[in-house]
Amino acid sequence: MSEKMTSASPDIADIWAGDQDLPEWFIKAMAAPREESFVEVDGHKVHYFRWGQRGKPSLLMTHGFLAHARCFAFIAPFLAGDYDIISYDLAGMGDSEMIPDCDGSRRAEQMVAIAETLDLFAGPVKPKIIAHSFGSGVALGAMELAGERFGGLIICDLMILRPERLKAHFEAGGGPPGSGRSDRPNKIYPDYETARGRFILSPPQHVQQPFLLDYMAYHSLRRIDEGETHGWAWKFDPMVFHRNADVQESWMDLPQRIVDLPHRLAMIYGENSQLFDGDSADYIRELGGSHIPMIAVPEAEHHLMLDQPLALVTALRSVLALWAE
């Protein structure tokens, strides 16, 4: 069911300006009350959104590589009736500041610090983490660091492949999430349309909800008006590509780290994902992860919130219901 959008949320008005039919569920989700703010962690600003009611069980959400907190902006409102929800931009992405020496350990430490600073550990129920792709690796590190303080982790389509498949993926030029150049500034495009044309997903895929891709693209860019320079550029800091260790080796280690985690864990993935599939689930079980619930979202690829957002909500609700305390 859809309706003509006549009174747009400020978050989406700049994109469609009331000229496009959008699904009613999306319009209502974007109109849900939320807080948008920054919190300072170790001297660096972190941008976040907050839905729900303080005092209710907390959920801490984060996104994939080069994405931003708004990938959960149309997911979180469906959980806000029962939870206090934070979705934040990872360091150097979205509107969050970059931090020095930003490797996986630093990102994990920052995730724990964000939960601490925003009082997510203050209630009687431990906060739970929901993370997508690259953000799931950060969340895994946070659970290894302070898992006893969290109530569980839901991993959404983190790249898990058998070693031979992972090696073939790298050799084919797929590269690990986060590979790229850190030694050059982001290009400035002359207008939004040109910049938008350069927005692509990794891995490339057809998106079943194109308006959600438009939404994510718009908020991945910033307008530049500095002296004689005018145009549009990506928000992310190029230093997010800097690596201090063997990135490929770290991705090889992920499956065993997941299996060895002594805390509550569930995995949700796109049934048609290129980065986690049925064989990935079998591999996790063979390593000793038979205790981990693994849920496939039908007709979804890696960016499952852009393909099947409501099915993703249902999967998240199901896991959270099983974990109710």
The total of other beta-carbon atoms located within 10 Å of residue 30's CB is 21
Instruction: Give me the mean pLDDT over the 146-160 stretch.
Output: 98
Write down the mean pLDDT value for the chain: 91
Give percent above pLDDT 90 in the chain.
82
More confident residue, 183 or 244: 183
Q: What is the pLDDT of residue 7?
A: 41
Q: Which of 91-105, 230-244, 286-300 has the lowest mean pLDDT?
A: 230-244
Q: What is the pLDDT of residue 15?
A: 72
Q: Are 147 and 260 in contact (CB under 8 A)?
A: no
The total of other beta-carbon atoms located within 10 Å of residue 9's CB is 16
Give percent above pLDDT 70 in the chain.
91
The pTM of the full predicted model, rounded to 2 decimals, is 0.94
Instruction: Give me the mean pLDDT over the 291-302 stretch.
Output: 97
Q: In 3D, which of 296, 248, 247, 250 has the Cα closest to residue 273? A: 296
Whether the ω angle into residue 203 lies within 30 degrees of 0, i.e. cis, is yes
Banded pLDDT at 305 (limits 50, 70, 90): very high
* Per-residue pLDDT at 5 exceeds 60: no
Q: In 3D, which of 291, 276, 285, 294 has the Cα closest to residue 256? A: 285
Both tokens assigned to 315? 């999967």
Enumerate residues 6+ apart whose C-beta is below 8 A from 205.
274, 301, 302, 303
CA-to-CA distance for 234 and 283, rounded, in angstroms? 36
Q: What is the pLDDT of residue 4?
A: 31
Q: What is the pLDDT of residue 49?
A: 98
* Per-residue pLDDT at 290 exceeds 70: yes
Encode 231-252: b = buried (16+ Cβ within 10 Å), e = exposed.
bbbbbbbbebbbbeeebeebbb
CATH of domain 32-181+244-322: 3.40.50.1820
DSSP 270: E
Instruction: Give me the mean pLDDT over the 313-319 stretch.
Output: 98
